[in-house]
Amino acid sequence: MTTMKEATKDFLAQKHIAVAGVSRDTKRPANFIYKKLRSLGYSVFAVNSNARMSKEIFVILT
């Protein structure tokens, strides 16, 4: 059985990570995770089923 530590290590070994729940509300946990992963050099993709397809989410989070 895989431990949580091993699973975390495997997850963070990926170069591209999608973060679900990113929104305009900067206090949302997903936004913190998105920004933290980007600051660590990961290629991060914001996922929000309620957002329309545009660059505005990236402008808000950058």
**Average pLDDT, consecutive stretches of 10 residues, N- to C-terminus, the chain (62 residues):** 93 93 89 94 88 57 50
User: What is the torsional sign of CA 27, 29, 33, 36?
Assistant: positive
Distance, CA of 53 to CA of 23 (rounded, Å)? 13
Residue 3, pLDDT score:
96
Residue 23, pLDDT score:
86
Residue 61, pLDDT score:
52
**How many CB atoms lie under 10 A from the CB of residue 46?**
19
Residue 54, pLDDT score:
56
Residue 24, pLDDT score:
83
pTM value?
A: 0.73
Residue 14, pLDDT score:
94
